[in-house]
Structure 1
Amino acid sequence: MIANKNFNVIGAIGDIHTEEQLLKKSVDFLKSQNVDKILSVGDIVDGLGDANQCCDILRREAILTVSGNHDRWLLNNQLRDLKNATQPDSLSIASHSFLSSLPATREFPTPHGLALLCHGLGENDMVRLNPDDYGYAIQANTDLQNLIRDGKYRYVINGHTNRKMVRHFGNLTIINAGTLKPGHEQGFVVINFVEQFVQFYKFLEDSAIEAAETVSLIDCL
């Protein structure tokens, strides 16, 4: 557990992929919103930007962060022939230490129940849940079904797919914070657990920040 008292309003940053400039803009904006805490779903490395600067920002600003599959691959020196892969010898000692310290999951309390921060789903940083998964894709998603059945968490904040999302499965709500990665709708979220909504923000072409859609945390179906 990362807090003894409820987090009422948080900022959540999706997959970073070395986008240090957008990461800084996201953090600065979220700090201006007086959120209780800023969270990151991992995948800090593997991209066109500077992984060391991203680690420095996350560490300096005390962003609650979990490890993503790309971070794990880098530490294990796996798949370094991926396009725009961060190479192990490019990491500073401080960045390597920071990445090595990241857990796969973190828990924190909210006014309506326990929340889980992770990259994929739970301990599995490779499992995907897409906005358009239905039917068999949901039934066959063992990690999702385990989370639903166990009933421990009211919310899961994750990433991995680079697709922003709010989905309800009974008493479990899953919020995907999206990504800062180019080629996707780059942005981040503010989650208000008291007033029960998620406010998505997006970056425009000049990197200005604009409010996008607001999605209820209450399943109205």
Structure 2
Amino acid sequence: MKIAVIADIHGNDLALEAVLADIASHGIDDVVNLGDHLSGPLNAARTADILMARDFPSIRGNHDRWLITKEPADMGRWDRAAHDELQPHHLDWLRTLPPTLVHRQELFLCHGTPQDDLIYWLEDLTPEGVVHMSARRRIEGFAAGIEQPVILCGHTHIPRAVHLADGRLIVNPGSVGCPGYDDDEPVFHKVETGSPDAAYAILSKADGRWDVTFRRVAYDHRAMSRLAHERGNKEWTSALASGWLGD
């Protein structure tokens, strides 16, 4: 059994198409999607059209939630850019997505943690805003009560796999469409993957054991960087060009 895991597309339709082509090249037709589908200064509407046509098992992320709960005037820059492109049927689709989901009885899907789509699960921050791997006790604590052997999360855009003491596997597949960002909450920090490639993961099960392979897929990231530049977003311009935010 093989299942592809995608997350944090953020309206990057070219990255999504490249990832879907790579998934197809591996003969995989089972795909799950961990949210934050559309927000960003790119091609939100076309990304929504692709995802709606594919109808993957999907959950909503924090940005998806904000797109359907906030007034446009109250939205952050990423969400407002996407909202201005989207049609009512795109927002109706986002409203159908649950915050968590169980797939094939063995995979538990969430965006941040099972309890909160804004919390980093496998990473944490120092008071100075340095991103680092979270403590084992903290990671284990968020997994309490989940029965499935594989737990999937997104949100931080950082590919990572962690084996829990009881044998369960937690996987963040990385971000399809946004290789770097900064955030002011809970303290200012940067997340930079150092690569402009699209990222996703492939889960495979053999002899009762689940394993994960992380994939990076090249695509025309410079075209998306130029689009972000045209739309006046310096952060996205740099991240899409290189995987770094610059100074």
TM-score (norm 2): 0.69
SS in 1 for 2:32: strand
Measure the CA separation in 2 of the matches of 1:36 and 1:48. Answer: 29
Measure the CA separation in 1 of the matches of 2:120 and 2:164. Answer: 15
Higher-helix-fraction structure: 2
Deviations 1:23-71 (A, max 9, x none): 1111122123222411111101221211111111111112221100001
Offset of residue 84 of structure 1: 6.6
1:178 aligns with 2:211: no
Measure the CA separation in 2 of the matches of 1:55 and 1:82. Answer: 18
Measure the CA separation in 2 of the matches of 1:105 and 1:123. Answer: 9
2:215 is matched with 201
2:232 is matched with none
Measure the CA separation in 2 of the matches of 1:197 and 1:140. Answer: 23
Q: In structure 1, what residue type is equivalent to 2:7?
A: G
1:103 is matched with 98
Give the unaligned 5+ runs of structure 1: 1-7, 208-221
1:58 aligns with 2:51: yes
- Mean alpha-carbon deviation: is it higher for 101-110 or for 79-88? 79-88
The answer to whether the 8 Å contact 2:42/2:82 transfers is no
- The aligned runs of 1:37-76 (5 Å cut-off) are 37-76=30-69
- The aligned runs of 1:109-128 (5 Å cut-off) are 109=104, 114-128=106-120
Offset of residue 189 of structure 1: 1.2
Measure the CA separation in 1 of the matches of 2:134 and 2:117. Answer: 21
TM-score (norm 1): 0.77
2:237 is matched with none
Q: In structure 2, what residue type is equivalent to 1:204?
A: A
Select 2:137's aligned residue among 136, 139, 156.
139
Number of residue equivalences: 192
SS in 1 for 2:52: helix
Measure the CA separation in 2 of the matches of 1:33 and 1:15. Answer: 21
Offset of residue 83 of structure 1: 4.8
Residue 83 to residue 51, structure 1, CA distance change in 2 (3 Å): closer
SS in 2 for 1:197: strand
2:9 is matched with 16
Give the unaligned 5+ runs of structure 2: 124-131, 181-192, 222-247
SS in 2 for 1:26: helix
Select 2:24's aligned residue among 31, 48, 59.
31
Measure the CA separation in 1 of the matches of 2:48 and 2:78. Answer: 20
Measure the CA separation in 1 of the matches of 2:43 and 2:37. Answer: 10
SS in 2 for 1:196: strand
The answer to whether the 8 Å contact 2:7/2:37 transfers is no
Residue 80 to residue 87, structure 1, CA distance change in 2 (3 Å): farther
The answer to whether the 8 Å contact 1:27/1:38 transfers is no
Computed over aligned residues only, the root mean square deviation of the Cα atoms, in angstroms, reads 2.3
The answer to whether the 8 Å contact 2:154/2:172 transfers is yes
Residue 26 to residue 204, structure 1, CA distance change in 2 (3 Å): closer
Q: In structure 1, what residue type is equivalent to 2:153?
A: N
Percent identical residues: 23
Residue 167 to residue 196, structure 1, CA distance change in 2 (3 Å): same
